[in-house]
Amino acid sequence: MAEITVPFKFPEVEGKNYGFVNVDNGRKKWYIHMYEGASAEGEELMQIEGEVGTDMKSLIFHPNYTFKPETEYTFIIPEGDVLAYEIGATKETYLKDYISERVELHYTTPSVASLPAWTPSSINMKDNEEVAELKYFIIDCPAYEYDGTDYNTVSTKVTGNKGALYLVTEEGDQEIKTFAIIRKTLDSESEIGNGELTGRYFVGEVNETLYEGNEYKVIWLANSFIVDSSFIGQYIGNPEVAVTLKGTTPTIDDFGLTANVSDRLHSHADVFSFVTESEIKAGEGATMKLMDGEESVAEAPVYVSRENNGYRAYADFGGQKLENGKTYDVVLPKGSVYAANGIVNNPEIKSAITAMPEQTAAPEFISVKLNIDEYATATYRMVKGEESVVDLKAGDDWKLESLSLNGDDVTSEVSEQGLYTLPALNEDATLDATYAYVHDITYDYTTGVGNIEDLPYSLSKDGSHVIISGLNGGEQITIYTVGGMKIASLDTVPADMHEASIALPEGQIYIIVINQTSIKWKH
């Protein structure tokens, strides 16, 4: 049942025209009550809201209900539920004396067997037609007619409104692709149908080359569309529409597959591929193999993707660990992919990959400590049992004066560039180096803890700090070890600074130079 139309005969009053109008700043709601059975004595199934017909004097109801076959239903509009309104009035004006009559309708649903079939069919192709390229699959779209009423059809979610193209083989139909089928209106300007078709059709866009020597089947899957009726739509949808076609496009006989495998060293097997300019598809259940000689160590499904310049057959081995030092073969077995014509399959093709070099045992290390003075030390991590080179080159104004290894003098073994080659050592060792200042250092005063007569500066000790007093802004302070190593400097004494405190290791002798005045200080 698509709809229920209930006409009303409104009273005739001279100068007035009565019917259904919008009132109370909103649409007046009208309902019909539905019951299962031959009367309204049973439980009410639902109330159906009505719409005003174009004549303004009838109500139309659309039952949204799943009706049972061969079952009687009763529809009631109670007496007085419908008022006579003045058409065109600016406010609610109805005849208080008008009381609508009770409306009672009965409808018995037909049997399923009595419903006629819906018979759409292919319109642009016939069985066994020879086709080079299938662009569109076009199906006529006749209305479904029952009991004098034409019904629309609506798509369903059951099949996704799909069509499919298959390659017919001895082993069975092999799916090539699926495609959507939608309803379109065609006219003389439409590319679809070359302008020869006008009206409403079901159209699937296929765009597939059909190769000679092959048989194909194109199908509109059953029940992609159903009749737009809450009752009939339960039972009537489109049948499967299938057409068998013969391909005529010449086949190809060479894939031109080449390996696209990096020649780098591999620690793991990840994605490997083979490429071609030819159109190919992956065979059902095809796998690529990783071979260690004659042994297959891993397999992965073969997929095909379209690239800018052709097609790529690839497989992802998911990071399979490779054994160091080995060479493996990535193998695309015969028949893993096939040409678009479905007949020509690839021969076996393989490419070698090399794993990372074999690892030796982890090396052992020893420590070599380099002592320059109490201020400068360094520790080197050396491979046990192997020679190593240490760079002892001094900075500006300095030179290496001596070097000893575990107390043995090795100064003569240091190159002019300041490089010393350590022999192969099997245990920790110590290098002692001394550096000399290449310029002369003189001092004018020698002191312990205290002041020297005529000295323009005052030196004192406060814990580990040496206190220098009597300074003037702009003066320079530099402190050296007696071996000539500069360990501290204040290039410019600030204008408001007259005393400096410098921390130095105790128990040592230092040369403190303030401008041109040198002081030998025991700390």
Q: What integer pLDDT is reported at residue 53 of this predicted model?
A: 84
pLDDT band at 411 (very low <50, low <70, confident <90, very high): very high
Instruction: Read off the pLDDT of each residue in 132-137 and give the average, rounded to a whole number.
Output: 90
Q: What is the pLDDT of residue 449?
A: 45
Tell me if 77 sits within 8 A of 32, measured CB to CB: yes
Confidence band (pLDDT; 50, 70, 90) for 105? Answer: very high
Residue 91's pLDDT is what?
A: 58
The whole-number pLDDT of residue 25 equals 43
Residue 375 pLDDT > 80: no
Question: Is 0.75 topped by the overall pTM?
Answer: no
Identify the three-state secondary structure at position 486: strand
Looking at the DSSP bridge assignments, the partners of residue 159 are none
Closest CA to 388 of 420, 417, 412, 422: 422
Specify the DSSP element, H or E, that contains 111: none
- Percent residues over pLDDT 90 in the chain: 14
Q: Report the distance separating Cα 34 and Cα 73, nearest Å.
A: 7
Residue bearing the bigger pLDDT, 67 or 440: 67
Q: Which of 327, 322, 304 is nearest to 314 (CA)?
A: 304
pLDDT at 24: 46
Tell me the pLDDT band of 376, cut-offs 50, 70 and 90.
low
More confident residue, 427 or 519: 427
- Enumerate residues 6+ apart whose C-beta is below 8 A from 362: none
- CA dist., res. 53 & res. 8, Å (int): 11
Over residues 318-345, mean pLDDT = 79
* Topology of domain 260-355, CATH: Immunoglobulin-like (2.60.40)
For the chain, give the percent of residues with pLDDT over 70.
87
Q: Which of 265, 164, 157, 252 is nearest to 208 (CA)?
A: 164
| pLDDT given for residue 333 in this prediction | 87
Task: Render pLDDT for 176-197 as a digit per residue (tens, 0 to 9).
Answer: 888 888 888 888 778 887 777 8
Provide mean pLDDT across the span 138-148: 84
| Contact of 35 with 76, CB cutoff 8 Å | yes
Token couple for 85 = 């309104």
Instruction: Tell me what pLDDT residue 427 has.
Output: 93
pLDDT digits (tens, 9 = 90+) for 23-64: 444 456 789 999 999 888 888 999 999 888 888 888 899 888
Q: What is the second-level CATH architecture of the domain 129-247?
A: Sandwich (2.60)
Write out the CATH class of domain 445-522: mainly beta
For residues 366 and 169, what is the distance between their CA atoms, to the nearest angstrom? 72
Residue scoring higher pLDDT (1 or 315): 315
> Per-residue pLDDT averaged across 78-98, rounded?
75
- Each domain of the chain, given as residue ranges in start order, spans 4-109, 129-247, 260-355, 365-437, 445-522
Q: Is the pLDDT of residue 264 over 80?
A: no
Q: Taking residues 210-237, report their average pLDDT.
A: 85
In Å, how far are 21, 27, 119 from 24, measured between CA atoms?
10, 8, 49
* Residue 446 reports pLDDT greater than 90: no
Mean residue pLDDT of the chain comes to 81
Strand order in the sheet with 268-276: 258-259, 268-276, 310-321, 303-307
User: Does this chain's domain 129-247 share its CATH topology with 260-355?
Assistant: yes
pLDDT in tens, 204-220: 899 888 888 889 999 98
The confidence score (pLDDT) of residue 27 equals 52
Per-residue pLDDT, averaged over 63-84, amounts to 88
Q: Among 11-15, 241-245, 258-262, whose mean pLDDT is lowest?
A: 258-262
> Does residue 404 carry a pLDDT above 90?
yes
